[in-house]
Amino acid sequence: MALKIPKIIGHRGAAAYAPENTLEGIRTAADMGIKWVELDVKLTKDQVPIIFHDEDLERITGSSGLIAQTNYEDLRDLDVGLWFGDSFSGLHIPTLEEAVDVLLEHNLGLNLEIKPCPGREKETAEVALDVLSQIWDDHDKLLISSFQHVSLEAALDVARDWARGLLIGGDELPENWRELADYLDVKTINIGSRLITPDLVADIHDLDLQCLVYTVNDPEEARMFQDWAVDALFSDAPDVIEDGLASIH
């Protein structure tokens, strides 16, 4: 397997330009020439893998309720575009399957972040990867990541051949990140921009892992990370970052 991660990954699609985690967002990233996108997957109450970031519906739909307590048919008609702008009204929460259809149509790679609702770490990975295994063939263009070690452990069990990425966020680097990376057999460390340093990039590379940094929307910062030899950046505004990177040449 030769994992081919591009320098820039569209975060939640292209979240600065289209509502996050929507089919429109994926199409927008593709139209911008972006090669991979990152999407968050979680399960509805009735175990349908959907593309959605938050545990609750409030921010994106304006409705109250938790994803983990709502069946797919009750989510299906909620509008997930209007909060972003009137012109995006009428968009719905995509299922993983619908998202993959659009990704394949545009020949895009995918970083699927397993984003389980609390207590559903194992089943979210198992169900999402089971669905994905039936519709996704290209191992070079797929990275499964999570902050949740239990989810990555489940991914290791059910889809050992698919590349995994260990997400690290917050304010402090866990002391045992090397042991975790080794145990979960990951190919990448996907780390928050506040935590990354040039030394850490070197440490990650010493372990033969790739270093991916989120979420970078400022071209100056992108240039700095490029100087540090960071392998890829997640960005809501991939075109801005691309311009930033190109301008040093």
**Where along the sequence are the contacts to ligand G3P (CB under 6 A)?**
11, 38, 40, 53, 113, 145, 167, 190, 214, 234
Give the C-alpha separation, 183 to 224, whole Å. Answer: 31
Q: Which does 141 bind (CB under 5 to 8 A by kind): Mg ion, ligand G3P, none?
A: none
Nearest to 142 by CA among 38, 238, 20: 38
In whole angstroms, how close is the CB of 73 to ligand G3P at the nearest point?
A: 26
47: burial class by Cβ within 10 Å (0-12, 13-18, 19+)? middle
> Per the residue annotation, which of 53, 106, 149, 205 is the catalytic one?
53
Q: Which does 164 bind (CB under 5 to 8 A by kind): ligand G3P, Mg ion, none?
A: none
Of residues 109-148, those binding Mg ion (CB under 5 A):
113
- Decide: 96 and 41 in contact? Cβ < 8 Å: yes
Of residues 22-41, those binding Mg ion (CB under 5 A):
40
Stretch that binds Mg ion, among 18-26, 43-51, 106-114, 216-224 (CB under 5 A): 106-114
Q: Which is nearer to Mg ion, 53 or 178 (CB)?
A: 53
Give the C-alpha separation, 152 to 124, whole Å. Answer: 10
Q: Which is nearer to ligand G3P, 142 or 167 (CB)?
A: 167
Q: Which does 234 bind (CB under 5 to 8 A by kind): ligand G3P, Mg ion, none?
A: ligand G3P
Q: Is 139 a catalytic residue?
A: no
Give the C-alpha separation, 170 to 241, whole Å. Answer: 23
Q: Is 53 a catalytic residue?
A: yes
Q: Which is nearer to ligand G3P, 124 or 145 (CB)?
A: 145
Longest dimension (CA), the chain: 51
In whole angstroms, how close is the CB of 190 to Mg ion at the nearest point?
A: 9
Active-site residue set = 11, 53
Give the binding site for Mg ion (CB under 5 A). Answer: 40, 113
